[in-house]
Structure 1
């Protein structure tokens, strides 16, 4: 005697219907039935990403500039002129 199953029961069945197989062709067209993902990056995440792209801080240079400011030797007319030129170049393009 051979037993092939429990009276026609088909085993576990999915709760949700199956979607069509997901595939993307060379033109990046998503085929019907494929789920779409969407990602939103918060303003804080965008800011942190921007910070991570900044160059490293040169601590020795920062300390040297602080010392010059404290001694009153940092603010010279030449440095002020250079800073203004750079600022206007950025603003005016």
Structure 2
């Protein structure tokens, strides 16, 4: 086998060049562009907001514990207020 010039190998022994992935035309490509769309339900949005709210306001719990231990929590005003709120909800 003889090699002549910068062309390298000549003749029937020359390997065929196959297009690489980047050179191949994309069959899936289309001229029509479709935008993706995501819809989040109202329930999912509310659950997201709820997950960001602390389950317990610890400062309020500690204050009520302190008042109960001191015997100052069960006052007539608090009992009347709780009864009033309960009746409003019914």
What TM-score do the two structures reach when normalised by structure 2?
0.45
What TM-score do the two structures reach when normalised by structure 1?
0.44
Larger RCO (alpha carbons 8 Å, 6+ apart): 1
